[in-house]
Structure 1
């Protein structure tokens, strides 16, 4: 097995398997209870399969981001990784990649079983392949840094949940939206662009020791992900403006508006648009 798998993967397989089982438990056991706590049991029982899977996927994503951020942060100042950004290794990075690989493995299974779209499946499988390949070792220095992109993910999931609990356009969602935009811009656009530039430099310097397909795949993927971050950021701004502009109209035109600033009947049926669903996975 050691001859077939990436060099350091066998040492971390138990952690990867525990992570996969753990996220399966979050999906099937924790998420339904959490959703029932927020929605009420009757509302949860009335949801269709697609809506239930939405709650389960967002809850799993939330847990992953909260778990992975401190694990990634502790890998930022490891001398062995800094000394060799292309091929350096440290067991702490292995733990980080095992946990996140377990999540993306489970996430990919959910996408395939429930067919949440080809884009989601490709994203999950691509992330799984990248972090499994880091065990060779390869680019472990950057793996921990790119996982800091998850800094905006908790606020994105909270934004989605506020939509689902009838709090679209509420002051709480407004504050959360500001934090979401700030963390996304800071972690992905600003810090992410700096890391992506350094990543490209390291990749180019290591090109002689890499298969052409691997070099091209990582270089192309780096460009695509940064382009998607800009695209998603603009979509987030549009989506947030639409929500709060709509909220202002409701407050001005409807005297039956509830405490959240939207008509109660409308607030109870408001759901997140497709933009929010896409951004959850990135």
Structure 2
């Protein structure tokens, strides 16, 4: 059912022993292409955890404010550091993955090893994110556990394979993440309301609107039309889930951008308000 664009992966193939170990379980879930990428998912999750563990030492070297933060704020700070690394990594792979999926002959079931490896980096991040939200449930809240589960589910089930062609749309959302994180760091380093933060806020809004609203809604429409056109070829439950998740994420983006615009407007008038916090700043580390 899938069409293959490339047999060359971004990373070397993992141990066949590991692939053989997980294959029976993946096949029961219909994730037929997942075993080939399981090592990348595991290693990327461990990589993000390493960044999280190194963040206190690195942050203390570059900012005198870190040691003054509360435990809750330090946990959020460290998560934003991981988010920054993840977003820059995926942004740097934006053009290669876009070029790769454009070679697919099937928009619904197209697959390549190269694309699968890139999505595995995102999958590893969401796996790490789920671990963090569960471990610090009293800090993150149950809502973000649900968010992490949903994000992990959406990326993982692309290994059916399903909708890998549309993956670059959601990866492009990471273009707004560095600006969100910069806003957070400026807030925590006593630069709230500074010219730098206002300028960054303008770039944040412009980027957010372009990649998450304009491009996001157009892609949501294109994805929905393709699913509806070929709805008889895929399980109805899976189709409904993706359509609902797609619409929910895009509606949330619309809600967040209005919140951020309002907060930046208020800040420009001298009010002490954080646009990142007002717009639910945790989206900066929990992007899809």
TM interval, short-chain normalised: 0.7 to 0.9
How much does 1:37 deviate? Answer: 3.1
Measured in 1, the distance between the counterparts of 2:233 and 2:98 equals 25
Contact 1:156 1:276 survives alignment (8 Å): no
Query: Alignment length, in residue pairs?
Result: 259
Q: Which residue among 8, 23, 27 is the counterpart of 1:2?
A: 23
Matched residue, 1:122: 146
**TM-score, length-normalised on structure 2?**
0.84
Q: Which has the larger displacement, 161-170 or 71-80?
A: 71-80
d(CA) in 2 for partners of 1:272, 1:153:
11
User: For 2:49, which of 10, 24, 30 is the aligned residue?
Assistant: 24
Q: For residue 210 of structure 1, report the CA deviation from its aligned partner.
A: 2.2
C-alpha displacement of 1:69: 1.5
State the 1:202 CA deviation.
1.4
Deviations 1:2-22 (A, max 9, x none): 243111211111111110110
1:238–1:279 distance in 2 versus 1, CA, 3 Å: farther
Question: What is residue 98 of structure 2 aligned with on the other side?
Answer: 76
In structure 1, list runs of 5 or more residues that go unmatched. Answer: 248-265
Please give the alpha-carbon distance, in whole angstroms, between the structure 2 residues aligned to 1:221 and 1:38. Answer: 39
- Bigger CA radius of gyration: 1
Q: 1:51 deviation in Å?
A: 1.0
Match of 2:125 in 1: 103
Aligned to 1:49: 71
| 2:241 paired with 1:241 | no
From 63, 88, 96, give the equivalent of 2:110: 88
- Say whether residues 1:227 and 2:251 are aligned partners: yes
Deviations 1:128-165 (A, max 9, x none): 11111111110000112211111100000000100000
Residue 169 of structure 2, aligned match among 136, 145, 162: 145
Change in CA separation of 1:46 and 1:24 when aligned onto 2, cut-off 3 Å:
same
CA RMSD of aligned residues (A): 2.0
Change (3 A) 1:193 1:230: same
Alpha-carbon distance in structure 1 between the residues aligned to 2:183 and 2:101: 38
Where does residue 134 of structure 2 map in the other structure?
Answer: 112
Task: Give runs of aligned pairs for residues 178-217 of structure 1, distance below 5 A.
Answer: 178-217=202-241
Answer yes or no: is the 8 Å Cα contact 1:69–1:148 preserved in 2: yes
Gaps of 5+ in 2: 1-21
Residue 48 of structure 1 deviates from its aligned partner by 2.6
Provide closer, same or farther for how the CA distance between residues 81 and 133 of structure 1 changes in structure 2, counting only shifts above 3 A. Answer: farther
Q: Deviations over 1:236-276 (max 9, x none)?
A: 111212222126xxxxxxxxxxxxxxxxxx99xx8963534
Q: Is the 8 A contact 1:163 1:271 kept in 2?
A: no
Decide whether the 8 Å contact of 2:48 with 2:125 is kept in 1: yes
Q: How far apart, CA to CA, are the structure 1 residues paired with 2:165 and 2:82?
A: 26
